[in-house]
Amino acid sequence: MKLTAVIEWPKGSRERWEWREGRFVRKTMDLPAPVNYGFLPGFTNPADGEEVDVVVLGRALPAKSRIEAPLAAMLWLADGDHKLVLNLDEGEHHSDKAALLAWFEPERRARLEDASAAAGWLKELGYP
């Protein structure tokens, strides 16, 4: 299954944008992102009432870009703020995955679930 995502925070960049009320808003400088970080337009995560978060493994992508990539996994977090994981190319991206898991505080108990778990969660949200 391929999904279309919008990038808010490019891999390796400290510059971060957020999608708020239909437009991009620049946030303060942050730690460099270990992966591309963005959202799935039009679908809300019930855990926080905002668009479903997406992380994209692979090369750095420009902020505000739209990409289409295959669903690879789901980043499961204990607080319910799950994130979809897309794989930009065919690589396994072990270092991206390790950096992604290390990015979250231990109490959030981050773990990766397979693509079928991600697809099931999307179905629960009403994604076709």
Alpha-carbon span 23 to 19, nearest angstrom: 5
pLDDT the model gives residue 113: 93
Taking residues 11-27, what's their average pLDDT? 89
Share of the chain residues as helix, strand and coil, in percent rounded to the nearest 5: 20, 45, 40
**Among 16-20, 44-48, 54-58, which range has the highest average pLDDT?**
54-58
Whether the predicted pLDDT of 49 surpasses 80: yes
Taking residues 1-11, what's their average pLDDT? 95
- For the stretch 55-98, pLDDT in tens is 999 999 999 999 999 999 999 999 888 899 999 987 788 999 99
Taking residues 25-52, what's their average pLDDT? 88
The pTM of this model reads 0.89
Alpha-carbon span 91 to 35, nearest angstrom: 14
CATH C-level class of 2-123: alpha beta
Residue spans of the domains in the chain: they are 2-123
Alpha-carbon span 100 to 108, nearest angstrom: 13
